[in-house]
Amino acid sequence: MEKIKVRMKKLDQKAILPTYGSPFAAGADLYACLDGDVTIKPGKTEFIKTGLAMELPEGLVALIYARSGLASKRGLAPANKVGVIDCDYRGELMVALHNHSDKEETIQNGDRIAQMVITPYITADFEEAETLSDTVRGEGGFGSTGRK
C-alpha cells in the first residue's frame, strides 16, 4: 500500500485532521468544525465546515463520499453525492450535507460528517470525430444490457 504526504492547514484551532478508521480503510473521516450546532431540516442541505485546507500532489484528486452509518442511520449524505476536490484547490474543505430523512438532524463540532478518498485521475484530450467504432452494445443505454 502506497502512502503519500498531504499537507493540511488548520484554518481553525478546533479543526481535526482526517483519520482512518482501520489500517486498510480507503476513506479518511472528515470532522465538522463548528462554533455551534447546525440543525439540518428534512429535505434541506447545509454546508458543514471542516476548518481545513489542503495541498494535494499534482495528479491526485480527493473524492468526498457519505459515511455509511451517517447515511443509513440518520439520512445525512453529501448533496452532490460525490464531492470532487481538485489538486489546485486551496480553500476550506466543506461538505454540503443533505438530510434525506423525515426529521431534523443536528451536527455538532467534532462529528464525523463524510469520508475522503484520495486517488489518481486521468485527463483526456477530447477530439471531435465523424464516426465511432462499432460494438456489440452499440447505442443501447439505461438498462439495455440487463434482463428483459
| 41-57 pLDDT per residue, tens | 999 999 999 999 999 99
30, pLDDT greater than 90: yes
Domain chopping of the chain, boundaries: 7-120
Q: Domain 7-120 classified CATH 2.70.40.10?
A: yes
Per-residue pLDDT at 140: 74
Q: Phi and psi of 113, rounded to 5°?
A: -115, -20
Q: Phi and psi of 61, rounded to 5°?
A: -135, 145
Q: What mean pLDDT, rounded, does the chain reach?
A: 94
What is each CA distance from 102 to 6, 44, 79, 95, in whole angstroms? 38, 10, 16, 20
144, pLDDT greater than 70: no
Residue pLDDT, tens place only, 85-132: 999 999 999 999 999 999 999 999 999 999 999 999 999 999 999 999
Q: Please give the grid coordinates belonging to residue 101.
A: 430523512
